[in-house]
Amino acid sequence: GSLQLQAFAAGWVGGAASVVVGHPLDTIKTRLQAGQGYGNTLNCVLTVYRNESVAGFFKGMSFPLASIAVYSSVVFGVFSNTRRLLSQLHHRDAGRAPALADAALASMVAGFVSVGIGTPVDLVKIRLQMQTQPYIKANVKLKPTVPGFPVYQGPIHCFRTVLQKEGIAGIYRGAGAMLLRDVPGYCLYFIPYTFFCGWITPDGCISPNPSSIWLAGGVAGAISWGTATPMDVVKSRLQADGVYLNKYKGTLDCILQSYQNEGLKVFFRGITVNAVRGFPMSSAMFLGYELSLKAMKRDQTETNP
């Protein structure tokens, strides 16, 4: 029992750590992918800073802080428990270092579960990140369709509004794109991590030291987020769409429209931010995870010798 729970608790700590590190860059990424007129990354950073100061970067953070903690807790919990279960089935011995196939299957399961929880969470986060209209009073006369007041007062209100207006389908908008992003994404997250950890620490991932966790986690995050960018763009666009009007019918339609309007390069929007942000976020995530696991195991051995 307690071992299963430890993975969830450790994932929670890791998730919280990664949000604080990664949220400012996440805001930039969403604006670059779904917003207009921000140009390149640096320009986007400067614009947000000028218009909204430092607080602008942490817009809507309380929500991901609560949700990603739960979310990564589930992802890590599901991943590590599935992997243990699989290795028990294979070898009737959970202690053995897990095979890559086990890690792959476990990450796919984690990917599926995460989409179930993560789609509504991300939808709300993106809608809140995108509604910066109230600050641009001057723009109202240019675009009378865009109201000059926020559509959503906060996460709960946003969730309720979307549910009332668009139903369950509205809340799960972008789920297809997210599955296409996360199932391969988690494979490219956990597998390189397992591999690099084993490579840096020859005795496998039993007790890697913090610096190798940091490095392996960071590299895994950069790889995973870099390769997931095209589907991430599609997901951001699908989920941001619908604050004022719906222009995409679904995942494929969004891919085709984006491609027709802006060419192939649109799918690599925010790839630098994604890969750069993937490193510290992911290393914070894995460090938080492994170190809190270690701490909990240490407490256990002290309490029941």
Angle between helices 251-262 and 210-240 (to 10 degrees): 90
**In percent, how much of the chain has pLDDT > 90?**
31
Q: What is the pLDDT of residue 258?
A: 93
Q: What is the CA radius of gyration of the chain?
A: 20
Output b/e per residue, 90-118; b: 16+ Cβ within 10 A. eeeeeeeebeeebbbebbbbbbebbbeeb
Q: pLDDT tens for residues 57-78?
A: 877 777 778 877 788 898 999 9
Q: What is the pLDDT of residue 129?
A: 77
> What residue spans define the domains of the chain?
1-303
| SS3 per-residue string spanning 145-201 | CCCCCCCCCCHHHHHHHHHHHHHHHHHCCCHHHHHHHHHHHHHHHHHHHHHHHHHHC
Q: What is the pLDDT of residue 133?
A: 46
Inform me whether the pLDDT recorded for 208 exceeds 90.
no
**Among the four given CATH numbers 3.40.50.1970, 3.40.50.300, 1.50.40.10, 1.50.10.10, the one describing domain 1-303:** 1.50.40.10
Which of 116, 22, 28 minimizes the C-alpha distance to 70?
116
Torsions phi, psi of 183, nearest 5?
A: -65, -50
What is the rounded average pLDDT of the residues 101-110?
90
Chain-wide mean pLDDT for the chain? 82
Q: pLDDT tens for residues 117-167?
A: 889 988 988 888 777 644 343 344 444 444 456 678 888 899 999 999 889
Q: pLDDT tens for residues 160-196?
A: 999 998 899 889 999 999 999 999 999 999 999 888 8
Q: CB neighbours (10 Å) of residue 291? A: 16
